[in-house]
Amino acid sequence: MLKNIIDKYRYFLLFTVSLCLSVIVFFSYAYPEGDETVFGFLKRYDVELSAPVKGRITHNGIAVSGMEVVRELSYGGYDKGEPIIDYALTDTNGEFSFNEVKVKSNAPGNIFGQDARLRQEIYIKKDLDEIKDGEDKYYWLWFISKNWTSVPYLNKFLLQLNADLNNKEVQHEVDLTQFGFRRDHPLLSICYWEDELITTYYGESMDVVINFNDLKN
């Protein structure tokens, strides 16, 4: 009797199971930040949008106080990629800081969300009279796009956002292969760091920077 019922409704049962699985996959992708009341059975990951940040701003070597620094964080696996924006003002010594930012997301374990990008942007807006034709309207202290995995090696530079506003904007190519990432990971900044895993380039011709003092000319 039971076998006859199963045989009779086999295709209906298969369709129902398939539909339920499709709904689960759809909503876990559409709402990767999750809703514990509905999707509590789905694993949610701690995603570090930004490690703690510290830096110091100078102009011609003199500390700049009261300058606004903007941090803009966005992750494709959280809040539909909408940016989280906060601000800091430099103190009398030109120093500023931001706290760590973490969110919950099931995107890292989702087949559709594993490649969601995390963008970290930290910048200072230029005054209108400082913007020359073709120039960017920001002083970029940190601009990077990466996956969700936190990399302590990169995070240590977030504590060293020390820059003079006269610094030339450069592109640091960071070798992250030993941390499981691709070799040349681009990082845009006016901050200068010297490290064996970093190769720095300048200008449209992407000339390798051997000595940062050469950029002062």
Q: Which residues fall within 8 angstroms of residue 39, CB to CB, at 6 or more apart? A: 27, 28, 31, 106
Each domain of the chain, given as residue ranges in start order, spans: 2-30, 45-216
Contact 57, 92 (CB under 8 A): no
Which position has the token pair 């570090």? 48
Q: What are phi and psi of 215, to 5 degrees?
A: -80, -10
Q: Structure tokens of 98? A: 């931001």
Q: What is the mean pLDDT of each run of 10 residues along the chain (217 residues)?
A: 50 56 54 45 80 96 96 90 95 97 84 80 87 79 91 94 94 87 84 92 86 78
Question: According to the model, what pLDDT value does residue 36 have?
Answer: 43
Question: According to the model, what pLDDT value does residue 216 have?
Answer: 73
Query: Closest Cα partner for 45 from 144, 143, 113?
Result: 113
pTM of the predicted model as reported, rounded to 2 decimal places: 0.78
End-to-end CA distance of the chain: 90
